[in-house]
Chains A and B, each alone.
Chain A
Amino acid sequence: GAVVSQHPSRVICKSGTSVKIECRSLDFQATTMFWYRQFPKKSLMLMATSNEGSKATYEQGVEKDKFLINHASLTLSTLTVTSAHPEDSSFYICSALARTMTEAFFGQGTRLTVV
């Protein structure tokens, strides 16, 4: 299957700082990327959908000023957690979908810990 690379896999940051997570499609052009958040022992909750070259669409309850999403190219989307707080600690997962694909492929996830 197609490969989606997410970086970093783990990150620890101090409260008040910002953290950027990258999601790359390595062998295909992703016209759409999805960002999910997963709490321990919980399901994946969709945060936002980003289409290349346009603004992301955020799900209800997700603060767009806190979770900045950029999808500037067909192979890269970034999620920036701004002014991070301990409650932002979570597992963040991206998935990528090409126009020609029938299903999206997931990255390996990023474990964010805010101390």
Chain B
Amino acid sequence: GENVEQHPSTLSVQEGDSAVIKCTYSDSASNYFPWYKQELGKGPQLIIDIRSNVGEKKDQRIAVTLNKTAKHFSLHITETQPEDSAVYFCAADQGGKLIFGQGTELSVKP
């Protein structure tokens, strides 16, 4: 089955800097890769996603890149703000269900 590895587990950046979170997956049949932001005590919120027919997608300060050959995808957050502080999860689709990475706790220091 699918296995998703996410790094780093924690990331601390200064406000205004960029943050990058990376994930690798094992099942080459996966073709949908969402990223979620989870704030304390709340459910995950989808922030951006990418499908296998696209190499990069951008939405304002957030971008995701996908390398299908290498089976890895990354989340890029530019001009970070304190409100970006949260736990971020990557996921890979496996026949309709999502397999999640271990999560990255992002801390943006003002």
Measured CB to CB, the residues of A under 8 A from B are: 1, 6, 32, 34, 41-46, 49, 93, 95, 97, 102-109, 111
Contact B101 A106 (CB under 8 A): no
Contact B98 A43 (CB under 8 A): no
A32 CA / B103 CA spacing, docked (Å): 25
Q: Is B41 an interface residue (CB 8 A)?
A: yes
Measured CB to CB, the residues of B under 8 A from A are: 32, 34, 36, 41-46, 49, 89, 96-103, 105
Q: CB within 8 A of B43: which of A32, A42, A93, A103?
A: A93
Q: CB within 8 A of A109: which of B42, B46, B49, B99?
A: B42
Known A41-B105, A111-B41; further 7 A-B contacts with Cβ < 8 A: A43-B101, A44-B98, A46-B97, A93-B43, A102-B32, A106-B44, A108-B42
What chain A residues lie within 8 Å of B45 (beta carbons)?
106
Nearest opposing residue in chain B for A111, CB measure: B41
Nearest opposing residue in chain A for B90, CB measure: A43
